[in-house]
Structure formats: structure tokens, C-alpha cells
């Protein structure tokens, strides 16, 4: 039996809304599920809102390879330096920074 897989899930199978996985391949690609929205991005940083909180991804030459908002899937390629979940205090600082930036 041959099955096509997308982010480790058989295609056609509904993902539950609270599913969240991060898969890194060789510091060059991140596949993320459970993404609610992409808050901001550029070639050095992505800020994603996930079902498990805000996720910041930093690196070099980052670009979005795939985005499926309906399924909450995002693929990012480039050289990945780090990714971290932001707690409430860090979220406020990040939003404050972006709020000042986009006034």
C-alpha cells in the first residue's frame, strides 16, 4: 500500500486543531503544524502564532517554502540558528517592538 504523506500525516486525514509538531531537517528546513497565523517574517526572523503559543524562528536567508492556512502548515527553508517559544512577557515585548515598527 502506497500512501502520500504531508508533514508526517497521511494526506486526506484531518488534523486536530490542537496538533502541533515541529520537524527540522538538517538546520535547513522546518515543517511546522498547528500554525494559527504568521505574525511577521523576513529573511532573518519569522514570528508564528501556533496552538501552543508564539514561536520565533531566527536564521539567515529564511523564506517560506509552503503555507497552508486552512491546515495550519508552514514550511521554512534557510539556515536556521534557533527557534524558541515566547512566554507572555516575551510576547508583549515582541508585540511592542512590532507595534513601534509599524506605527
The predicted pLDDT at position 89 comes to 61
The predicted pLDDT at position 14 comes to 46
Domain ranges in the chain are 15-101
When pLDDT is cut at 50, 70 and 90, the band that residue 12 belongs to is very low
Judge if pTM exceeds 0.75: no
When pLDDT is cut at 50, 70 and 90, the band that residue 18 belongs to is confident
- What pLDDT digit, counting tens, does each position of 21-73 carry? 999 999 999 999 999 999 999 999 999 999 999 999 999 999 999 999 899 99
d(CA 57, CA 2): 34
When pLDDT is cut at 50, 70 and 90, the band that residue 87 belongs to is confident
At 89 the three-state DSSP class reads: helix
Q: What angle do CA 15, 21, 23 make, to 5 degrees?
A: 125
15-101, what's its fold? Immunoglobulin-like (2.60.40)
Amino acid at each position: 500500500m502506497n500512501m502520500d504523506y504531508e508533514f508526517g500525516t497521511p494526506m486526506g486525514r484531518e488534523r486536530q486543531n490542537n496538533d502541533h509538531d515541529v520537524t527540522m531537517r538538517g538546520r535547513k528546513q522546518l515543517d511546522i503544524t498547528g500554525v494559527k497565523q504568521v505574525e511577521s517574517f523576513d529573511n532573518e526572523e519569522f514570528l508564528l502564532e501556533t496552538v501552543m503559543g508564539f514561536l520565533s524562528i531566527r536564521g539567515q536567508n529564511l523564506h517560506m517554502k509552503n503555507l497552508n492556512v486552512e491546515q495550519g502548515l508552514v514550511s521554512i527553508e534557510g539556515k536556521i540558528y534557533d527557534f524558541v517559544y515566547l512566554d507572555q512577557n516575551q510576547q508583549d515585548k515582541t508585540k511592542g517592538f512590532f507595534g513601534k515598527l509599524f506605527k
